[in-house]
Amino acid sequence: MTAVITAPITIPYARFSENSAHWFAARALGEMLEAAHLDKASIDGLCFSSFTLAPDTAVALTQHLGLSLRWLDHIPMGGAAGIVALRRAVRAVEAGDAHVVACVGADTNSPEAFGATLGNFSRFTQDAVWPYGAGGPNASFALLTSYYMREYGARREDFGKLCVSQRENALSFPPALMRKPLTLDQYLNARPIADPIHLFDCVMPCAGAEGFLVMSAQRARDLGLKAVRVLSTCERHNAFPGDPIQMRGGWLLDRDELFARAGVRHEQIDLLQTYDDYPVISVLQMEDLGFCGKGEGPQFIRDHTFTNDGSFPHNTSGGQLSCGQAGAAGGFLGMTDAVRQLTGAALGKPVADAKLALVSGFGMINYDRGLCCGATILATS
């Protein structure tokens, strides 16, 4: 039995919301069911991720939302959650442990909650990061960006190009919170946040939800749903722990197998979705997934447009940098938009003739580096 992804849903983001993560999860599930012409009882599996559901977990969510399940998973993997959820759900469906698995990332956001989430993010954060200025991820990624620039000759203009091209993609993507064009001059002249990170290098935290369903290809056909095939997946946690600073991620260890199992080559990939809370991490993903060599990111950026109608379409929704970072849902955005692009259901400008997508995830800066990496190669069915 082959499992497929269907019913990709994006619940429109809000900068701040009085609604809870439960509310956003319910909205996502409701819309997924409607899109798939299914009733709630048809869902027998749930893989859930959130930063703001406390004191609840996915267990409580089953009762809160009246779901009776035979397969349940709660994955605290942030920006890698979409990939890992897919990977778990595909295995569950293919093993017969569940028939229809809903994969959902949902979070709310308020000015107070965001600071609390950051300050209590992990024990190492509490003990060894927060007391050093409470810069949050801005500071963590500033340290990586600064090192990368020095080591590999990247300029601010290189990172800026990624941000500007993503904004162009976002302008045709209705759910994106950033609605205005961004010029390279505006990017370069923005106020500093944590040198060399400036305002437009940083995601804007927001509330929202993303989700998709995983079911057998036969079931999707019977329901008349557009679906995509999952050619391969990988995940890796705490790769390269001996590196003094994170200049490479777990993708590097798994990319050969990822492509080999999918039976495709890099040049066949029609669109790449990276996890993009800061542009430097998109560059590491491009390199470690093998689209260019280590340190070749800056030249790779100069060689491509990254727009949906240009060369090397990247973050087709505008990514989190333009849509906003809806907590753990941010780890699902690349996936839902890749599925829409591959099924001819793009909300924004379509990537012409898209047949293959690579979606990558990255999450959880526990101390000085992100610990979770994952990726998947998806294909039209």
Kindly tell me which of 64 and 156 has the beta carbon lying closer to another protein: 156
Region near another protein per CB under 8 A, out of 10-18, 122-130, 208-216, 253-261: 122-130
Nearest Cα residue to 332 out of 80, 61, 47: 80
Taking the complex as a whole, how short is the minimal distance between the CB of residue 63 and another protein, in angstroms?
28
Kindly tell me which of 127 and 303 has the beta carbon lying closer to another protein: 127
Taking the complex as a whole, how short is the minimal distance between the CB of residue 197 and another protein, in angstroms?
7
Residues 329 and 9: their CA atoms lie apart, in Å, by 11
Q: Is 26 in the site for another protein (CB under 8 A)?
A: no
Kindly tell me which of 127 and 309 has the beta carbon lying closer to another protein: 127
Candidate list 41, 70, 115, 256; residue touching another protein; CB under 8 A: 115
Kindly tell me which of 68 and 120 has the beta carbon lying closer to another protein: 120
Region near another protein per CB under 8 A, out of 91-99, 185-193, 273-281, 340-348: 185-193
Region near another protein per CB under 8 A, out of 1-9, 141-149, 265-273, 283-291: 141-149
Residues 155 and 140: their CA atoms lie apart, in Å, by 18
Contacts of another protein in 260-319 (CB under 8 A): none
Region near another protein per CB under 8 A, out of 77-85, 208-216, 241-249, 338-346: 241-249
Read out DSSP for 172-207?
Answer: T-TT-S--S---HHHHHTSPEEETTEEGGGSPPB-E
Instruction: Determine contact, residues 47/338, Cβ cutoff 8 Å.
Output: no
Nearest Cα residue to 370 out of 196, 201, 121: 121
Read out DSSP for 267-336?
Answer: GG--EEE---SSHHHHHHHHHHTTSS-TT-HHHHHHH---STTSSS-B-TT-HHHHH-B-GGGHHHHHHH
Distance of CA 232 to the CA centre of its chain: 17
Count of residues that interact with another protein, criterion CB under 8 A: 37
Nearest Cα residue to 59 out of 51, 351, 48, 356: 48
Residue 120 structure tokens: 């209590």
Helix, strand, or coil (residue 215): strand
| Virtual torsion, Cα 214, 218, 222, 228, nearest 10 deg | 50
Nearest Cα residue to 309 out of 270, 283, 356: 270
Look at strands 3-14 and 207-216 and give their pairing. antiparallel
Kindly tell me which of 114 and 306 has the beta carbon lying closer to another protein: 114
Kindly tell me which of 198 and 219 has the beta carbon lying closer to another protein: 198
Q: Is 191 in the site for another protein (CB under 8 A)?
A: yes
Q: Is 130 in the site for another protein (CB under 8 A)?
A: yes
Polymer length of the chain: 381
Kindly tell me which of 149 and 217 has the beta carbon lying closer to another protein: 149
Candidate list 19, 63, 68, 126; residue touching another protein; CB under 8 A: 126
Largest CA distance in the chain: 56
Residues 208 and 2: their CA atoms lie apart, in Å, by 30
Candidate list 193, 207, 209, 372; residue touching another protein; CB under 8 A: 193
Q: Is 96 in the site for another protein (CB under 8 A)?
A: no
Helix, strand, or coil (residue 266): helix
Contacts of another protein in 343-372 (CB under 8 A): 367-368
Kindly tell me which of 125 and 216 has the beta carbon lying closer to another protein: 125
Kindly tell me which of 224 and 242 has the beta carbon lying closer to another protein: 242
Q: Is 152 in the site for another protein (CB under 8 A)?
A: no
Candidate list 132, 224, 267, 353; residue touching another protein; CB under 8 A: 132
Region near another protein per CB under 8 A, out of 31-39, 62-70, 139-147, 320-328: 139-147
Kindly tell me which of 136 and 331 has the beta carbon lying closer to another protein: 136
- Residues lying near another protein in the complex (CB under 8 A) are found at 114-115, 118-119, 123-124, 126-136, 138-139, 142-144, 146-147, 150, 191-197, 241, 244-245, 367-368
